[in-house]
Amino acid sequence: MTLPWALLLLGKVLAQDTADQGCLVPPAAYNAALGRPASQSSVFANVSIAANAVDGNRDGVWQHGSCARTLTEREPWWSVDLGGRRAVAAVVVKNRQDCCWHRLRGAQVHVGDAPAERGRDNPICGTITDAGPGSLSTVCCQGLPGRYVTLLIPGREDTLVLCEVEVVLHGCLPLPGAPNVARGRAVAQLSTLNGISLAANAVDGNGDANWERGSCAHTEKELEPWWHVDLGHRHTIYAVTITNRRDCCWENLLGAQVHVGDSLANHGKRNPVCGAILDTGPGSTSTICCNGLPGRYVSIIIPGREDFLVLCEVEVTAQSCVPPPGAQNLALRRPAAQSSTASQAGSAINAVDGNWDGNWRHGSCSQTKKEPEPWWTVDLGRRRTVAAVVVRNRLDCCWHRLKGARVHIGDSLAGHGTNNPVCGTITDTGPGSTSTICCRGLRGRYVTVAVPGREERLSLCEVEVVEQGCAVLPGAQNVALGRPATQSSVLDASSVAANAVDGNRDSDWEHGSCAHTMEEPEPWWRVDLGRRHVVYAVLVKNRHDCCWERLKGAEVRVGDSLVDRGRRNPVSCGIITDAGPGSLSTVCCHGLRGRYVSILIPGREDVLVLCEVEVIRQGCAVLPGGELPANPHPPQAPRHPPAHPLLAIAAPNVAREQRAMQSSTSNGSGAASKAVDGNRDGVWQHGSCSHTRREWEPWWSVDLGGRRAVAAVVVKNRQDCCWHRLRGAQVHVGDAPAERGRDNPICGIITDAGPGSLSTVCCQGLPGRYVTVLIPGREEQLALCEVEVYSVFPEL
């Protein structure tokens, strides 16, 4: 829903220095070649591999390492596999600009289903006629269908150099499982209207569009107000979705621009414009297609006028995927093998030991000898559905070796797994880079990483294989059990709504434990959780004695509204796609908030049958060893209940009475050590809270005394006043000490900052010696009335 002028701007950006052969890049164009497997007739040195032409980098200087290049040979070619048959609107080709640009003149673009070297047999889309320095040629294909796009120089001996190839499809295609990479990230805005209008509200996962409920960012009225989010590192941005205010003043957002890039100069205004907001109705949701625009920062700015900027939620969809909280690493400590081993220190098993250290000399990276097409593979033990593969590159040297490596998933070990389908290609290979390759449900027992088409060493410092969906953690609490439920109609007395929350998964309807509506238009069922919960997942048990296919396409919604059977709730958690006999579908909600969970069959007349519905609250797993209070207090202090119903922890609080530091101390009674004294008293005057001075980005840190795998961090807020100050505070875990704690990975962000709130931030085993709490991007005071750290494993 971008403005027409914004779409024209996008077209002009793509068309600059371009030989436009009769087509404009269509609105919401999608680059289907980005990161896809590529091959070429030969390789001029290992720095000129085919993958360079689909890495998202249009740098036209060959020496900078982002151009594909063949040897000088007869009719050289290059080809990309789009992964499936596509209707191609246009192919955009970036030429070399430092020398030899004339070589590309006359190159043909072919589109069809014949792969690689046979690409010349596919239909010709067009020919490149403009081959000036750094030229950007748009070749129009008018919807020509095919899986492979091939460029070749016909009829002569020459070198083929391609600095980027973009294959444009029509529209902003949906990306199943695509992540919101903005959620919980560091944010800032030009000003803040009041204590409930913080910048962090726009990335808290709550799409409530009523500003008074405290989940919208809101600036003061000023000239060209701005808001931006730091995604932590450079992402390839697919789309930005913005939820507008609905209780009033929604027109303020009209014309707001979305910028994406790596610069914070002028608050991101100098970064490229992805698009602008045109639809500004009450509570409107605008999706701006960015089509692979790369950047670390996403900024939203109202240009050229004085106004308020109100954002109730900002979701940034990346073309890669980020594993959700609690995602299970299927590869951890599984059997692994590789084509060769450089030395005893480079064993294949090092890449699945759970240690992300990128320094090869520290002994936690695999490494092969230098050889043609080296490979590494892990056996998951059985066939799994893979959402993503995360690959950690070497940090100390030689990181470029991983560029172009392919990730394969399948059930065959033929060719050491390289005959299995390709999930994706690694294109980002900076020092210590972490590449997330989205596999979107590709199934297989074996995951293989291989470097195709050249002699190389393969070094992997960690490989994680993330299962599709979300793994419900052991001991997770079902908050729907026994709660009041209702449905659109009842078939008979044995089919009431309460049957679906009775704790019985028996899926034979005749046994009397399934809810069952009559056949009617859009039947629905709903449970009242009693209060607002943060929902991790919803499990739905289907009928197995008959008619199981009826559940297919049912929507699961989470929210606080009862209007229109829960349809007005801001976000659908997911859709049930597996509707086999007695199927158990896990729909991942990843922290959606709401009091009501509704299941409805949209758009058709049908029967809704549910044999059990379990609503799993966000939280951490119960740890082995039984149930003990999360915070044992001294005898004279009152005991408190566990920090979280899902965090009944027998393991000790490893932060208690450890050495703590902070950026400053407000006075003698606010020492850092007060936050690890074992006392959760939230009244600062009682002398058990740490407290900094008011300063820019205050921090507090605890030294655990050794490296730990951290399961969760529990933070007790002040309850007598000023509790809002803690909102947006980041929790970091890692090996960088005290004042450098901001360099450690972020475990999570505190979004609930009510009076005396007790926030449990789940770290899922993140390793590190230091835990740091800091308030980013603003001047504030940091007060902590207790910080508890729980470890799932012994010292690392």
> Quick check: 554 and 565 in contact, CB under 8 A?
no
Q: Are residues 153 and 10 in the same domain?
A: yes
Question: Mapping DSSP to helix (H, G, I), strand (E, B) and coil, where does residue 391 land?
Answer: strand
Tokens of 679: 């006392």
pLDDT confidence tier of residue 560, bands split at 50, 70 and 90? confident
Tokens of 283: 């509570």
Nearest to 793 by CA among 764, 770, 773, 771: 764
pLDDT, tens digit, for every residue of 269-313?
Answer: 889 888 888 778 898 888 887 867 888 999 999 999 999 999 999
**What phi, psi does 127 have (nearest 5°)?**
-130, 140
Q: Are residues 10 and 144 in the same domain?
A: yes
**Residue 177 belongs to some domain of the structure:** no
What is residue 9's predicted lDDT score, i.e. its pLDDT?
Answer: 31
User: CA-CA distance, 754 to 752, in Å (whole number)?
Assistant: 6
- Which CATH number does the domain housing residue 354 bear? 2.60.120.260
Residue 606 pLDDT > 50: yes
Residue 376 pLDDT > 70: yes
Q: Any idea which residue has 């414009």 for tokens?
A: 273
What is residue 669's predicted lDDT score, i.e. its pLDDT?
Answer: 82
Q: Are residues 414 and 276 in the same domain?
A: no
**Residue 127 belongs to some domain of the structure:** yes
For 701, other C-beta atoms within 10 Å of its C-beta total 25
Q: Are residues 165 and 190 in the same domain?
A: no
Range among 495-504, 632-641, 650-659 with highest mean pLDDT value: 495-504
Q: Are residues 340 and 303 in the same domain?
A: no
What is residue 588's predicted lDDT score, i.e. its pLDDT?
Answer: 75
User: CA-CA distance, 549 to 578, in Å (whole number)?
Assistant: 9
What is residue 178's predicted lDDT score, i.e. its pLDDT?
Answer: 60
Which of 554, 585, 617 lies at the terminal end of a domain, its last residue? Answer: 617
What is residue 39's predicted lDDT score, i.e. its pLDDT?
Answer: 92
**Residue 568 belongs to some domain of the structure:** yes
**In 375-447, alpha helices (H):** none
Residue, of 193 and 443, whose pLDDT is higher: 193
Q: Any idea which residue has 């199927």 for tokens?
A: 583
What is residue 321's predicted lDDT score, i.e. its pLDDT?
Answer: 62
Q: Are residues 36 and 113 in the same domain?
A: yes
Q: Are residues 732 and 786 in the same domain?
A: yes
Q: Are residues 304 and 341 in the same domain?
A: no
- The domain tally of the chain equals 5
Q: Determine the residue type at 518.
A: M
> Quick check: 678 and 631 in contact, CB under 8 A?
yes
Of 30-39, 707-716, 717-726, which gets the smallest average pLDDT?
30-39
- What number of CA atoms fall less than 13 Å from residue 145's CA on the CB side? 2
Of 183-187, 583-587, 787-791, which gets the smallest average pLDDT?
183-187
**Residue 647 belongs to some domain of the structure:** no
pLDDT confidence tier of residue 248, bands split at 50, 70 and 90? very high
Burial 353-389 (b: 16+ CB within 10 A, else e): bbbbbbebeeebbbbbeeeebbbbbbebeeebebbbb
H or E element that contains 573:
strand 571-575
Q: Are residues 291 and 202 in the same domain?
A: yes
> Quick check: 374 and 368 in contact, CB under 8 A?
yes
Give the CA angle between residues 252, 254, 255 to the nearest 5°.
Answer: 130
Of 103-117, 293-307, 728-742, which gets the smallest average pLDDT?
728-742
Q: Are residues 222 and 81 in the same domain?
A: no
What is residue 754's predicted lDDT score, i.e. its pLDDT?
Answer: 80
pLDDT, tens digit, for every residue of 625-651?
Answer: 322 223 333 323 332 333 333 333 345
**Residue 181 belongs to some domain of the structure:** no
What is residue 622's predicted lDDT score, i.e. its pLDDT?
Answer: 36
Mean pLDDT of all residues in 378-385: 86
Q: Are residues 503 and 453 in the same domain?
A: no
Q: Give the sign of the dihedral formed by CA 364, CA 365, CA 369, CA 370.
A: negative
pLDDT, tens digit, for every residue of 207-241?
Answer: 889 999 888 999 999 999 999 998 877 787 888 99
Residue, of 622 and 597, whose pLDDT is higher: 597
Domain interval for residue 364: 336-467
pLDDT confidence tier of residue 572, bands split at 50, 70 and 90? low
Mean pLDDT, rounded, of the chain = 83
**What phi, psi does 732 have (nearest 5°)?**
-110, 145
Calculate what percentage of the chain has a pLDDT beyond 70: 86
Burial 562-586 (b: 16+ CB within 10 A, else e): eeebbbebbbbbbebeebeeebebb
Residue 344 pLDDT > 70: yes
Q: Any idea which residue has 């936690």 for tokens?
A: 364
**Residue 269 belongs to some domain of the structure:** yes
Question: Mapping DSSP to helix (H, G, I), strand (E, B) and coil, where does residue 356 land?
Answer: coil
**Residue 297 belongs to some domain of the structure:** yes
Residue 793 pLDDT > 70: no
User: CA-CA distance, 286 to 240, in Å (whole number)?
Assistant: 8
What is residue 185's predicted lDDT score, i.e. its pLDDT?
Answer: 78
**Residue 600 belongs to some domain of the structure:** yes
Which of 318, 347, 370 lies at the terminal end of a domain, its last residue? Answer: 318
- 3-state helix/strand/coil string of 83-96: EEEEEEEEEEEECC
Residue 590 pLDDT > 70: no
> Quick check: 269 and 219 in contact, CB under 8 A?
no
Which of 583, 598, 617 lies at the terminal end of a domain, its last residue? Answer: 617
pLDDT, tens digit, for every residue of 115-162?
Answer: 888 889 999 999 999 889 999 999 999 888 899 999 999 999 999 999
pLDDT confidence tier of residue 796, bands split at 50, 70 and 90? very low
pLDDT, tens digit, for every residue of 22-71?
Answer: 465 544 456 788 878 899 999 998 789 898 998 888 889 999 888 999 99
Q: Are residues 504 and 370 in the same domain?
A: no
